Amino acid sequence: GDSVTQMEGPVTLSEEAFLTINCTYTATGYPSLFWYVQYPGEGLQLLLKATKADDKGSNKGFEATYRKETTSFHLEKGSVQVSDSAVYFCAAGRAGTALIFGKGTTLSVSS
Amino acid sequence: GAVVSQHPSWVICKSGTSVKIECRSLDFQATTMFWYRQFPKQSLMLMATSNEGSKATYEQGVEKDKFLINHASLTLSTLTVTSAHPEDSSFYICSARDQQGAMNTEAFFGQGTRLTVV
């Protein structure tokens, strides 16, 4: 079945550092890909998405590109802020079906 | 964007009692909703797929008699944890995808329900 693998954390960075969180997927065909963010005690919020190969999702300075050849959807941000501290989940899914999530990566940003 | 409302956001119950969690899609119709469980510092594990007007589809290892799911309308699904025990304490999250319109739309998540069984 489909699966999503993302780098394990925690990731600890200083403010304004560059962030990369790796995510790869295994699936038949081409699912849509998503990054969700979860702040402590809260549900999940969509951060960005891409629905087909070579699409780039972007939001709040975060970016991820759907790479079919490497089956990857790595999350990047050029300059992180303390407020970016959260757990980030990579997910894959097709229309009408449940999303498959990676294990989540905890990001801690210090000032 | 679309909103999914989950209620309650937290609940404490005594061992042996039942707890009902509601999940509503506020501005779209969801023929299918999904229920996830999240253990501390872990990912979301799909428990079941809730289908409007029919029986839910449970993932392997999830007790359907313990986690009762009802999807009586296009905007409401409920999860009832029956005869709750401390090991059922967890964070439960519902999700729905707007299936009218573009394919592969995002999934919208409820705020989650923190269940503590004492």
The pLDDT, as a whole number, for residue B99 is 63
Token pair, residue B40, equals 């501390």
* Contact (CB<8Å) A98/B46: yes
The pLDDT, as a whole number, for residue B27 is 84
Q: Is A106 an 8 Å CB contact of chain B? A: yes
Average pLDDT over residues A46-52: 93
Alpha-carbon separation of residue B16 from A55, B5, B86, B113 (angstroms): 50, 27, 9, 19
* Contact (CB<8Å) A104/B43: yes
pLDDT in tens, B27-86: 888 888 999 999 877 788 999 999 888 889 999 999 999 999 999 888 999 999 999 999
With CA atoms as reference, report the closest residue to A43 among B34, B104, B51, B13: B34
* Contact (CB<8Å) A43/B49: no
A65: closest CA of chain B, how far (Å): 16
Instruction: Give me the percent of chain A exceeding a pLDDT of 70.
Output: 99
